Amino acid sequence: MKLFGKELFNFKKKTGGEKMWDFAQFGLLNVNNTLNVFAEERPTVRGIQKIKKAVEKPSLTPKEILKLGSLNDNNFSINIDPKYINEQITLAEEKLGLYPKEKKIKKGRRVEDIGWEVGPVKYGREELRSIIEKLGNRSLFHKFKDTIKKYPHTTSALIEKVLKDNKHLQYAIADNFVPDFPSDAVKAMKEYNKMCMDICGKKTNFYVLAKEEDFQKQNKRRDPILMAQSPFGFFWQILGAWDEEMIYLGDL
């Protein structure tokens, strides 16, 4: 088999509005289909919880965190070696082959009638298929390197660390923030989605990192960090952060 041959990377492009598989849908560092819970350990004495008084630290805005470079993985690199990609795709395909054959739901039949797979098995299949797709996308990396290098990369581990260190922040899908995104954010999202569509025929998943209160109240200015899931792996690119540029719809 030739590396990067037609058989290996001839993925059918989608024509609709389908999105790439969302690897953060159950949590940033999800491996076992469970949400991440950031809990503090508190020492106990004779069954009575002893809570240390927390030292007050100034709450940083998402834009300030971005300026500090807390999310940037400066040593980040994407392995586009053909031999490596071929080996990893083969391994993922072999793992897929270990699952039982999928059953198709016939028209008019209920899911429970055929014991349709759910949970870890369903998630595992989707994850492996996404891995194969994203590795295959790397054959087009050089074609889009100008767009890729515009935005710094980050990882789920770095995002988790920022959330642990700044408990006033949360992350979520960006849909709730779209109405008041500034024009620069809209432009970046359109550009990134176009790149993903050109690569694999699917749109990406956008997430925001913002103050907890910004997810509760929408009638005020908000200052999120906007991130996009990469088409080349289970990592992210940071598209930007805005505060005073955000549009408050009540001002229009």
Host domain of residue 201: 60-77+143-252
Q: Report the candidate in 203, 211, 219 with the shortest Cα–Cα distance to residue 172.
A: 211
Confidence band for 105, pLDDT divided at 50, 70 and 90: low
Total domains, the chain: 2
In this structure, which long-range contacts are made by residues 119-122, counting pairs with CB atoms below 8 Å and at least 24 apart in sequence?
A: 119/33, 120/32, 120/33
Specify if 33 maps to a domain.
no
Please indicate, yes or no, if residue 31 is contained in any of the structural domains: no
**Residue 119 sits in the same domain as residue 183:** no
**Whether 215 and 232 share a structural domain:** yes
- Over residues 39-85, the pLDDT tens digits come to 233 333 333 344 344 455 667 878 788 788 888 888 889 999 999 99
Asked if residue 189 has pLDDT above 90, the reply is yes
Residues 69 and 177 in one domain: yes
Please identify, among 107, 122, 140, the residue that sits at the C-terminal boundary of a domain. 140
For residue 25, the model assigns a pLDDT of 82
Kindly state the average pLDDT of the residues 157-186: 88
Beta-sheet strand order (sheet of 169-173): 153-154, 236-241, 225-229, 206-211, 169-173
Q: What percent of the chain has pLDDT over 70?
A: 68
- For residue 10, pLDDT over 60 is answered with no
185, 103 contact by CB (below 8 A):
no
pLDDT value at position 129? 95
In a domain, 43, yes or no: no
Answer whether residue 195 is part of any domain: yes
Same-domain status, 151 and 252 = yes
Last residue in a domain, options 104, 125, 140: 140
Kindly tell me the sign of the dihedral angle through the C-alpha atoms of 38, 44, 50, 53: negative
DSSP string of 168-206? TEEEEEGGGGGGG--HHHHHHHHHHHHHHHHHHS-B--E
Q: Model confidence at 15, in pLDDT bands (50, 70, 90)? A: low
Does one domain contain both 122 and 224? no
The whole-angstrom separation of Cα 206 and Cα 199 is: 17
Output the pLDDT for position 5.
Answer: 39
Q: Is residue 14 part of a domain?
A: no
Residue 195: the pLDDT is 97
pLDDT of residue 199: 97
Q: What's the pTM? A: 0.74
DSSP state of 20: -
Are residues 183 and 87 part of one domain?
A: no
Count of CB atoms situated within 10 Å of the CB of 36: 15
| CA–CA distance, 119 with 133 (Å, rounded to integer) | 21
More confident residue, 21 or 82: 82
Q: Answer yes or no: do 124 and 155 share one domain.
A: no
Domain assignment present for 102: yes
Residue 212, pLDDT score = 80
> Within this chain, do residues 97 and 203 fall inside the same structural domain, yes or no?
no
127 and 181 both lie in a single domain: no
Q: Are 179 and 244 found together in one domain? A: yes
Query: Is the same domain home to 179 and 228?
Result: yes
pLDDT (tens digit, 9 = 90+) per residue, 212-246?
Answer: 877 776 555 567 889 999 999 999 999 988 765 55
**Residue that finishes a domain, picked among 97, 116, 140:** 140
- Mean predicted lDDT score pLDDT of the chain: 76
Q: Are 71 and 168 part of one and the same domain? A: yes
Please report whether residue 17 resides in a domain: no
